[in-house]
Every structure is written in structure tokens, then in C-alpha cells.
Structure 1
Amino acid sequence: MNSPQPPTATPAESPALLPRLRLETRPYHDSVEANAFNQALTAGRVTAAETAQFLARMYGFVQPYEAALRRHAPAFGPDWQLEQRYRAHFILEDLARLGYPAEPPLCPALPPLETRAQLLGAMYVLEGSTLGGQVIARQLAAAGIDGRTFFASRAERTGPLWKQFGQLLEAAAASEDADAIVASAILTFQTLAAWLIQE
């Protein structure tokens, strides 16, 4: 008599990707949060100059990331509403308000962003940053610092767009390499943390 075989897992039974991403990227997320701008913001002593410097660094990372996402937009489709997710242009508006005098430098070595899985991992990081951005916008407003468009740009759409992203990401995980998505998210956090501390 043959021994019964365990049932084959279906995609619906696969572990949810978002909780895994939150757990496995937590140390790297915390490293990004430890930058000097966030420390000054938390301490209530952030300046306009520090805000401009941080935004310039963010532009250097966000702009080439969004350029890669635009190149691969056909791999996502209209449900992802990518046009609503691009934010680099808001940083340039903020820098102009803050009197930033130069062209922001671009990060010379972003993580690989050539596959859909790699882009999904990076999207997890950048889309997640919109949630904290709302908090930062309120802190900057309390400090009387202009140049908050990048952080506040999604306003009431922040929660719905993040929820939609999570649903689309979970659906995509059924046909993508979840390990590759997680690895890309970790590398994105690591690269961003290193970029933000450079002078």
C-alpha cells in the first residue's frame, strides 16, 4: 500500500510576501532611518539646509530608480498606476524652494534593476517610504521649513496607493521569485543607507 503523499502547495498557500519583507528587511530599514537628517528631525533641530541636503541625496537615488522603472513599465501594466508613483520631480520643486544651488548628484551604483523581481524589491522600499514621508512632512511643517512636496505629495492617496501596491505585490509573487524580490529590497535599503551618509 502506498504511503499518502503530502498535498502540493498551491500559490494561494504560499507564505504572504509583505510580512516576510517587513521581517527580513527590518535591520536594513533601520539603518536608513539612522541618517543624520532623521536624527535632527527627531531631535527637533532640523534646518532648511539639512533638509535640502537630504532631498538632494534622495533625488540622486530616486531619479535613476524611476528611470529604470519607466524603462520596464510595460512589464507592469496599467493596474500599477505607475504615473501616480513617480516623485523625483517633486524633489526638484522642493530644492528650488529651499534655494539649493546645484544639480543634485546621482547615485552611481544603484542595485540591479533589470528584472521585474528586482524592481518589485526596490518598489517595496520606495513605496514604503511614502508612509514615513507623511510624518516627515508634518515635522517639517512644525519646524516652519518649506520644501515638503516630496514627502507630502500623495496626501490622502498615500494609504490607498500603498494598499494597492501590497495587493499587486502579493499577486505578482505567485509568478515571481520571492527570494529575488526580498534580496532586491535588502540591497536597495543597503545602497540607500550608504548613499545617504556620503558627503
Structure 2
Amino acid sequence: MDSAGGTVEDNTEASAGPGGAVAQADLDARWQFLRQEVARQLASYRRRRRRDKRKAFALQMATVTLSATVTILLGLRTSDATRAWMLNIALVLGALITVLAAAEAFFTHRRLWVLRTGTVRRLETLGRHLDFYSAGVGGRPTDPAVLGDCLAELDAIIAEDQRAWHQLRETPAAAKESAFSLGAADPTPSPSASGNDSGAPATPGV
């Protein structure tokens, strides 16, 4: 049995030839590149998520702290001279709150944090699938189709993140223009028109 098995294995290796070894080496190199690229993208998006979370938390805490300080300054009972100073300070703090709110509305750190979290989760899932497939085949990929599917999934994850980022960065005017363009390209009938397919004038209800 051992000799027969050894003969079959030798014949298989011989039929593979140098071309099969080169193809397998090329597949191994591409698989290694894909795993490294997934790890690189995952590390990059984790850094972005931590940055957005830190900035969102700082802006939120600063806004809440300043708002509480303004409330305390306006509610304290002091002399007229001291109260004038407190009102001036409260006015300045109120202006800072407006600036922080505008910064959050422009940079949207909280929404970016949520977006990056979703991207990181998808990349982690892809990396887990790569590890699972590699463990199943002894660390050596054998199917180029699986490699192509994993690469396509990686490209789709990055493209989806970029698309969502551009949507967050659109101004209200640009968003309205995009919605108008979509509506002009694919108009939808009004409820009255969809309910009256015969073309006859609608009769008022009694």
C-alpha cells in the first residue's frame, strides 16, 4: 500500500512538472500579498476609528462642560458687578459652544467613528475567512477563484467606505442637487396618478 501510494504521489508530482510548481508559487505569493493587504487596511482603519472616536468624545465633552458652566454662571446669585463679569464670561462660552457645534457638524467625527467601526468589522470578518481557508488547506491556497473572490470583497469594502465618506462630506446643496438628479433620471408617479390608471378624471368622494 505504501509503495502504491508513493507511486501515485510521484506520478502526480511528475505530471505537475515545473509549470505547476511555478503556478503554485505564484498563487502563494498572491495569497500572501492579499493577507498582508487586509492586515494593512485593518490597521489603518483601526487608527482612523480611534482618531474619530477621540475627537468625537473631546468635542462632546467640551460642549457639555461649557454648557453646564454657562448654566451655572447664569444661575449664580452675586453682586451686580460680579454678575456683569459672569454674564460676559457666559457670553464668550456660549460663542465657543457655537464654534464647537459647527466643527462637529462640519467634520462629523461621531458619524465617521460609526462608519469606521462598520468597516473595521467587515475587514475583521474578511481576515477571519482568510485564516479559516488557509487553515483548511494547510496554509497553501489551491483555488485561484477563492483568491479572486477575497480580493473583490476587499475592494468592495474599501469602495463602500469611500462612498459613505463622500456622502458625509457632501454639502446640503450638493445633496439636494444629487437627489434632484436622481429624481429626474428615474421619476416616480404620484400617488394620485398611480391610483388612476384609466386616465379618466377622478371623481370626488361623497
TM-score (norm 1): 0.27
Query: Which one has more relative contact order, counting CA pairs under 8 Å at least 6 apart?
Result: 1
Write 1 or 2 for the structure with the bigger share of helix: 2
